[in-house]
Amino acid sequence: MLTKSPKLHLNENLSPRLGRELRRYGFDVVTSQETELLSASDGVQLAHAASEQRAILTFNVGDFAVLHEQYMAEGKDHWGIILSNREPIGELLRRPLRMLNSVSAEELKNQIRWLNEYK
């Protein structure tokens, strides 16, 4: 049994609809749109997510992989970076649901994970 499900921050490239759907299943999810972080830098988005103990879900593989390395080199914590390819909304709902139901917040801490692990 999970001790605590991860909280998520959906980067601006993901549809706010996905956030609404995940919340319908009882998960704590916010979007860049809702947190007024549209067009904020990736560094600002990750720092905000980390400050709220949220994992960030993004399509932006390259920039967030670099940010992860910077955080680790500086001894800073984040609550997970979840990378995904662009997929139809149905897949983008199923995969996070599988992940949120199988991984604890602690297990995601300082990790980079691929959403396609949860097909």
1, part of any domain? no
Range of the domain at 43: 7-118
87, part of any domain? yes
**Per-residue pLDDT tens for 8-64?**
999 988 989 999 999 999 999 999 999 988 888 999 999 999 999 999 999 999 999
19, part of any domain? yes
**Per-residue pLDDT tens for 63-76?**
999 999 999 999 99
**Global pTM?**
0.92
3-state secondary structure 46-113: HHHHHHCCEEEEECCHHHHHHHHHHHHHCCCCCCCEEECCCCCHHHHHHHHHHHHCCCCHHHHCCCEE
44, part of any domain? yes
Whole-number percent of the chain with pLDDT over 70: 97
Q: Could you give the number of structural domains in the chain?
A: 1
